[in-house]
């Protein structure tokens, strides 16, 4: 009993030294992490998008409230541009507002002239229509409309020569469709602002791709992720309840490191649908037995306000196998052994990523069925599926392999 009292006293002491963490579900499907600050001049390392970053980069131009931007003037392909941005701790720029488009345009115009490209007034940014022709999404998986900006340059997009599937921006801030490979362009990377001073409350709106984002408080780190995929989670070595207030504590880790042992936080903010199966700690899924191509399956899930399922754990893999078995036989189609889910290597061969941009390892599950991926069909198996028996991954043709598919609510 005495030890319990001592432990309780330690917990209370810890609680007195850290700032209260509140987790509130919002109506727009984004987890709000709010940290009440002690003084009006206090600061919080609030990373809105991208990877963790504690220092500003000298080669980026930072815009208050938006982030940091850099125009790479040595032209390359969209695929290589995406990787270079990641190596710098950011991503190809994603435009979320007119204000951000104006900021990027200004960076573009102030930079040195792009070399190695026949079109120095255009640069790659982070969107494409590789999933389905004419339906543009950001590298985070959002439609341009949901991302907040979809203003195109005159007569664009035009898919010139049926070969323009990657996104670009003109130096006037308007969007353009560009070829992903074959032609070289400059490109714009984006990193989050390292630190912003916020009065009274620091609020961060985080996506699943930002799960490395964190708030350092004394010797502890608060980590969070939204249900952009499906689960609100927090890396927590300790959950502490003091006077009715919840504190989630975990030992601090280095910038860029993945926090271990994600623990589920119960939420009720998923959009409820009678045709989806809800599983606590995992998410909401629906098996479509009417067969479709991967591209059409992606579109059908989107039309339901969902996305092709992303497998984040062994438990989720097992669950999907069970749901597929309960759903029964596929109707139509030519592949009864698999079901489409949300990953691909359309960006670069053998670099498999989810439809929200994480590597399979980062997403939490990367087990392939024996002998897979094997790139059959003349090397055209570039989209992801799950084996209906063992829950492991398989590659399929995005357009011609017709099978069932699994959707997942955001």
Collapsing DSSP states into helix, strand and coil, what is residue 178?
strand
- What SS3 string covers 342-408? EEECCCCCCCCEECCCCEHHHHCCCCECCCCCCCHHHHCEEEEEEECCCCCEEEEECCCCCEEEEEE
Of the candidate CATH numbers 1.10.3720.10, 3.40.50.720, 3.40.1010.10, 3.10.100.10, the domain formed by 277-409 belongs to 3.10.100.10
Residue 243's pLDDT is 30
pLDDT of residue 199: 27
Q: What is this structure's pTM?
A: 0.69
Query: Is 207 within 8 Å of 386 (Cβ atoms)?
Result: no
Kindly provide the b/e burial profile for residues 117-145, where b requires at least 16 CB atoms within 10 angstroms of the residue's own CB: bebbbbbbbbbbbbbbeeebbbbbbbebe
Torsion, CA 155, CA 158, CA 161, CA 163, rounded to 10: 140
Tell me, what DSSP letter sits at residue 40? T
List the chain domain ranges: 18-50+194-264, 61-191, 277-409
Please give the distance of CA 258 from its chain centroid, rounded to a whole number.
15
pLDDT along the chain (410 residues), means of 10: 48 39 32 33 34 69 95 98 96 97 97 96 98 96 96 96 96 98 96 50 29 27 31 31 32 34 37 88 96 96 96 98 96 95 96 96 97 94 97 96 93
DSSP-derived secondary structure for 74-134:
EEE-HHHHHHHHHHTTSEE----SHHHHHHHHHHHHHSPPPBS-S-TTEEEEEEE--SSTT
pLDDT given for residue 177 in this prediction: 98
Rg (CA), the chain: 22
What count of residues does the chain have?
A: 410
CB 330 within 8 A of CB 378: no
Helix (H, G, I), strand (E, B) or coil at 3: helix
Count of beta carbons in the 10 Å neighbourhood of residue 218: 11
Q: What is the pLDDT of residue 279?
A: 95
| pLDDT for res 194 | 56
CA gap 209, 195 in Å, rounded: 19
C-alpha to C-alpha distances, 46 to 7, 24, 161, nearest whole angstrom: 31, 17, 43
Pick the closest to residue 297 from 308, 282, 309, 286 (CA basis).
Answer: 308
Query: Residue 315: helix, strand or coil by DSSP?
Result: helix
- DSSP string for 286-304: EEEEEEE-HHHHHHHHHHT
Query: What value, to the nearest 5°, has the Cα angle with vertex 336 and ends 332 and 340?
Result: 90
Between the alpha carbon of residue 185 and those of residues 83, 159, 168, 181, 301, the distances in Å are 14, 16, 9, 10, 33
φ, ψ for residue 81 (rounded to 5)?
-60, -45
User: Would you state the pLDDT for residue 271?
Assistant: 60
CA 224 to chain centroid:
13
First to last CA, the chain: 44
- Token pair listed for 182: 């074959």
3-state secondary structure of 23: strand
Matching CATH number, 61-191, of 2.30.110.10, 3.40.1350.10, 3.40.50.2300, 3.10.100.10: 3.10.100.10
- CB-facing half-sphere around the CA of 112: CA atoms within 13 A: 7
**Is the fold of 61-191 the same as that of 277-409?**
yes
Token couple for 29: 């499907």
Q: What pLDDT is stored for residue 61 in this prediction? A: 96
Among residues 163, 166, 150, the alpha carbon closest in space to that of 81 is found at: 166
Predicted confidence at residue 351, as pLDDT, reads 95
């Amino acid at each position: 009993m005495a030890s319990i009292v001592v432990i309780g006293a330690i917990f209370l002491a810890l609680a007195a030294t850290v700032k209260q963490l509140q987790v509130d579900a919002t109506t727009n499907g984004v987890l709000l992490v709010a940290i009440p600050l002690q003084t009006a001049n206090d600061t919080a390392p609030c990373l809105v998008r991208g990877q963790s970053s504690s220092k500003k980069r000298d080669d980026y131009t930072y815009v208050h409230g938006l982030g940091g931007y850099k125009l790479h003037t040595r032209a390359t392909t969209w695929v290589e541009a995406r990787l270079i941005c990641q190596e710098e701790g950011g991503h190809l720029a994603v435009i979320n507002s007119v204000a951000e488009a104006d900021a990027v345009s200004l960076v573009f115009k102030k930079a040195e002239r792009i070399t190695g490209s026949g079109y120095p007034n255009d640069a790659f940014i982070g969107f494409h229509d590789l999933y389905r022709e004419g339906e543009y999404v950001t590298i985070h998986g959002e439609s341009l409309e949901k991302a907040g900006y979809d203003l195109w340059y005159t007569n664009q997009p035009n898919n010139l020569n049926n070969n323009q599937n990657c996104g670009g921006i003109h130096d006037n801030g308007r969007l353009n469709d560009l070829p992903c490979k074959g032609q070289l362009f400059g490109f714009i990377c984006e990193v989050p602002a390292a630190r912003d001073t916020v009065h009274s409350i620091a609020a961060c709106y985080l996506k699943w791709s930002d799960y490395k984002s964190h708030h350092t408080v004394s010797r502890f780190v608060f980590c969070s992720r939204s249900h952009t995929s499906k689960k609100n989670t927090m890396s927590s070595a300790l959950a502490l309840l003091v006077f009715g207030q919840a504190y989630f504590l975990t030992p601090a880790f280095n910038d860029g490191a993945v926090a271990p042992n994600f623990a589920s936080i119960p939420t009720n903010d998923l959009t409820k649908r009678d045709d989806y199966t809800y599983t606590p700690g995992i998410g909401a899924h629906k098996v479509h037995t009417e067969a479709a191509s991967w591209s059409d399956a992606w579109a059908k899930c989107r039309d339901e306000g969902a996305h092709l399922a992303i497998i984040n754990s062994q438990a989720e893999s097992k669950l999907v196998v069970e749901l597929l078995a309960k759903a029964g036989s596929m109707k139509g189609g030519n592949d009864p052994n698999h079901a489409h889910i949300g990953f691909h290597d359309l960006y670069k061969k053998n670099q498999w990523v989810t439809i929200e941009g994480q590597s399979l390892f980062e997403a939490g599950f990367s087990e392939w069925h024996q002998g897979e991926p094997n790139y059959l069909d003349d090397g055209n198996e570039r989209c992801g599926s799950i084996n209906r028996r063992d829950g492991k991954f398989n590659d399929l043709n995005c357009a011609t392999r017709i099978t069932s598919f699994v959707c997942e609510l955001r």
